[in-house]
Structure 1
């Protein structure tokens, strides 16, 4: 009997009869893809070019029934399962060599109810899919800042974007979640149904089941907003002005500022190519007219290298950074929360930026606070909520031979920022999940044990483990 070898939960391989896979395939509306299929190489590709994984089977679902069948098939055979949504996970957790991948990337439907100001989003949707539909009604979900990001991973681990200070993180705007459990059962979680699970899913990671649908509350914004994007030389006085503004900015201002190296691109003056910069970027969560007035001071801190600021459709703001994150580039990201932003912090950031091996890399400064701080631990497991700044250290490069240098730079940055760091990390910037058990404990702090109890209830055998995993046996 012909079989196919698939990784199992015991850390070995199981020989699965091809006839069993054929029977499963015959029930699906979606597609079961194996290595010999012409679509396999494209189907297995992940966004992060660091990973070239070859799963044994990719089950590309088109609906909840497919997901249920896939989970039950794998569970009955004790197979190791990876869940793929938008596949933008920096740690490459959406696939596994020799594994069984449940792929939701074709489940991208978005349904807006403008009367209730809610939207239902399938788990394979990207941010651009959501923006396209919601902006038809002048409404938004506060999401991330790159339109090709998958909504599932972003939400389940938090979700920070331009609108975070006005309306909170993406997970803070969840109304309900539909998912398939480790037993292959469909359930809905909300404040009134499976409320403990709903709490856990609002930032506690994707290890409690296969989420198939999210329901979000919508907020009024757009279609036109004011967007500020000013690139300055990386002078210390510019960062000092940034720090002063950040301490007093209104909640409508969502800043994402970053250091980097000016690209050799005709969009920028050639005299500045490959020289260090500091970008002040911000979107105003209100009328474009008000935003133009409030953001104007950010454009007057000195003589800019370039100023791309303008009124523009919110959908264009969401795509503004897309070109910096192409599929197939190599990525290694980590995060550090800062308890303060001092002159010593500024000196450290400027020094670390100039040491980056790749001119694609950046050190990002996210101003926190506002609505994010008003969410209690009873509403979301994410902590800390009180820190004023989060640093995202992004190594982005193209050649595999440069892997070691770029990874080392990120780790050096984390070490260099340690004297200024506050507790916690952001698990959408997880590196490669080195020392994974300690990472999740650090991310969730005092909420970790409560998450363990939820895991024990909904997935006591740790069937879903290829993720930012919370082990049900953790102490």
Structure 2
């Protein structure tokens, strides 16, 4: 194996990082500090040829293989113990085509880098809510964020992808080339290959009107019931995700620090200030105790939370889809929002109405187009000593809400929770995913993910 490792070193333009190297501990870290895995080899790839060489090495040496883009995955599915990590962070470029407003992005880019490149052209690609998120992981899982109601999920704006398959071959997939594989990667995660390049449809977005409104947590049931009615009837230009949260400190006023709130973070992607003012009157009529909503460049709304959530925090996630926010749901949010264990722990509900809901449930693997919300509970803290506290709160919060959910969860919001949860999250689309997985990765080489088990594979 040592000879093979030497051969890999000579084949790569990027670097190999091994346990004995001085930069190993830094390089193996991922966004979630609760995940502490120690791979045997980390291949820092800078181009497609590096990816092919690393994959070949992993296959020939029967190694467990994980693929890491931004390393942001909640469950830590971009790394593994004792195996090979194929790191794509060196494959970075963003190319904007102003003739058709398409955007070509490398497999290792972060969303903030995409926003930086597209904003001068008054364009944006629908993504999440934190700019340090990797393009690859968010896209392959679905992509819910500030622009979902106006322009759909990230996968709804994916036009093409370049991939290295399990057998080491390279393909470009779109609606006419390998359409089955193109279908599968739009929500099926990293099960089907290593995506080295994405081509997205950009949309005209420059200045948005955004920011938070806050109400005391004691008003959570009232605010949630109102929000459930308001957001689903609002024009699609308006997005707002709901949260139970603690205000940990600046830039919020000191009078709010360490208090618990029910909040909504708004993003209006229209271009009419007067229309927004009229639209926002019902929000003001709810008398928030804090409002900081105004015009800002779209990249700014994407970075609102970056400072609060640097890499290395302890994270524990649980999630579900919801089709309504009835009284029982509101009561659970009041109960657990009132007992948030650490200042950064939160619950979010992201609306899936508007453009995201008009896509057929079987047009992509993302099966819950009929859901109204993707909900996620995250226990977050910088101190490993609090890992148990945030995990217990998160699990209890989820258990109280789950009976009122639709039964499945958005895969990007899941830890490693077992095969039944994976199957529930794809519903009737799971069987088709199994067929495509069996065709392109019959040996389950790509299994460090929310795994789709191929037929007859012994590797799980």
- Is TM (by shorter chain) over 0.5? yes
Check if 1:233 corresponds to 2:216: yes
Residue of 81, 91, 104 corresponding to 2:88: 104
Q: Which residue of 2 aligns with 1:413?
A: 397
Distance in 2 between residues matched to 1:301 and 1:404, nearest whole Å: 40
Per the alignment, do residues 315 and 176 of structure 1 end up closer, same or farther by CA in structure 2, a change over 3 Å counting?
same
Partner of 1:164: 148
CA distance in 1, matches of 2:224, 2:49: 52
Match in the other structure for 1:434: 417
Matched, 1:249 2:234: yes
Instruction: Find the counterpart in structure 2 of residue 89 from structure 1.
Output: 73
Deviates more, 1:113-122 or 1:239-248: 239-248
- Compared with structure 1, are the counterparts of its residues 294 and 220 closer, same or farther at alpha carbon in structure 2 (3 Å cutoff)? farther
Report if aligned partners of 1:203, 1:382 keep a CA contact under 8 Å in 2.
yes
Would the aligned equivalents of 1:109 and 1:122 in 2 still touch at CA under 8 Å? Answer: yes
In structure 2, C-alpha distance between the alignment counterparts of 1:56 and 1:309, rounded to whole Å: 48
- Superposition deviation, residue 302 in structure 1: 4.2
**Alignment partner of 1:449 is 2:434:** no
**Count of residues paired in the alignment:** 455
TM-score normalised by length of structure 2: 0.95
Distance 1:451 1:469 in 2: 10
CA distance in 1, matches of 2:317, 2:272: 33
C-alpha displacement at 1:343, in angstroms? Answer: 2.9
Alignment of 1:154 onto 2:133: no
Question: Residues 345-384 of structure 1: matches in 2 within 5 Å?
Answer: 345-384=329-368
CA–CA distance in structure 2, aligned partners of residues 28 and 295 of structure 1: 55
Unaligned runs of 5+ residues in structure 2 are none
Cα distance in 2, alignment partners of residues 80 and 294 from structure 1: 56
> Is residue 2:326 matched to residue 1:322?
no
TM-score (norm 1): 0.92
Of 46, 51, 58 in structure 2, the residue corresponding to residue 74 of structure 1 is 58
C-alpha distance in 2 between matches for 1:266 and 1:79:
46
With over 3 angstroms needed to count, the CA separation of the structure-2 counterparts of 1:407 and 1:39, relative to structure 1, is same
Distance in 2 (CA, whole Å) between partners of 1:314 and 1:266 is 21
State the Cα distance separating 1:288 from its structure 2 match. Answer: 5.4
Q: Aligned runs of 1:28-427 on 2, under 5 Å?
A: 28-222=12-206, 224-234=207-217, 235=219, 236-263=221-248, 265-287=249-271, 289=273, 292-297=276-281, 299-427=283-411
Q: Which of the numbers 415, 432, 451 marks the counterpart of 1:469?
A: 451
CA distance in 2, matches of 1:247, 1:132: 31
Farther-moved stretch of structure 1 (226-235 vs 171-180): 226-235
Q: Deviations over 1:392-436 (max 9, x none)?
A: 1111112222222211211111211123211321111102x122x
Indicate the RMSD between aligned Cα atoms, in angstroms.
Answer: 1.7
User: CA deviation digits over 1:327-379, x for unaligned, max 9?
Assistant: 11111111111221123321221111112221211111112111111112442
User: In the TM superposition, what whole-angstrom CA distance separates every residue of 1:173-221 from its partner, at most 9, and x where no partner exists?
Assistant: 1101111011111011111000000000011111111110111111111
Q: CA deviation at 1:56?
A: 1.2
- Give the Cα separation in 1 of the matches to 2:259 and 2:208: 30
Change (3 A) 1:80 1:419: closer
Runs of 5+ consecutive residues of structure 1 not aligned to the other structure = 1-15
